[in-house]
Amino acid sequence: MIASPAATDVDLGVFKTGKEADVSLVRRTHGERSVLLAAKHYRDADHRMFHRDAGYLEGRRMRRSRENRAMDARTEFGRELIAGQWSAAEFAVLSRLWSAGAAVPYPVQLSGTQLMMEFIGDEDGAAAPRLVQLRPPIDEAAQLFTQLRNVLTRLADAGYTHGDLSPYNVLVHRGRLVLIDLPQAVDLVGNPQGFDFLRRDCENICTWFRGRGVAADSALLYDDLVCSVPQS
């Protein structure tokens, strides 16, 4: 039902805004069944702020030199190409990670620069809180850190790091941790800066957990994840 062409969608409004995209809540209905989805809308060339994107785009080069030159020069055409790369890259990474059993939203469909995915939240439309909004006791924080290590290991097993990991792009729904916002996911082998992004991800997220009393060693986490990266 979730991908049926006979289903109808009702946009219930934006529930999250960001520099590159807004996310709307959508109710998809087919017959007597309905489900809530999250629709991520990447902004047009005049209203986007794809910050620091040059480093992330390493390893995602297109074959045609005209397109590459346009992206390098950040022309309007080039920015549109970059937007398409972001949405397509996020859909592809989510698809691969979901198939690998990682705790990420299920990717439903991609249409242009709009990505439709599983809504992480309650049936009444209340979105799951971000990790940064929580103040868990130390035992609960330790459990969440274990879940985070597991999902980051799944990413490393698939050859990726998040690329912009922080407590702002981790959701917690009924005790389950879910990683979100993956358009900039970095190919650890294909991107010359891949392992620098991995180290930064480890440092950023471990800093938050240490502030909650968890023995989160970023160097140990980094070393463990490096061991999980497939050898080229």
Cα 48 to Cα 18, 40, 99, 218: the distances in Å are 9, 13, 30, 32
Instruction: Identify which of 133, 210, 200 has the alpha carbon closest to the alpha carbon of residue 161.
Output: 200
Give, in order, the Cα–Cα distances in Å from 232 to each of 139, 160, 185, 199: 38, 13, 18, 20
Catalytic residue (choose from 72, 124, 139, 164) = 164
Three-point CA angle 124, 126, 128, nearest 5°: 135
Q: Of the candidates 144, 142, 72, 67, which has an alpha carbon nearest to the alpha carbon of residue 103?
A: 144
CA distances from residue 22 to 14, 18, 72, 128 in whole angstroms, order as listed = 7, 6, 25, 16
Active site residue 217: no
Q: Phi/psi at 68 (nearest 5 deg)?
A: -65, -40
Q: Is 181 a catalytic residue?
A: yes
Give kind and range of the element (H or E) at residue 99: helix 76-99
Q: Exactly one of 53, 139, 181, 223 is catalytic; name it.
A: 181
What whole-number distance in Å separates Cα of residue 103 and Cα of residue 100?
A: 9
Residues carrying an active site annotation: 164, 181
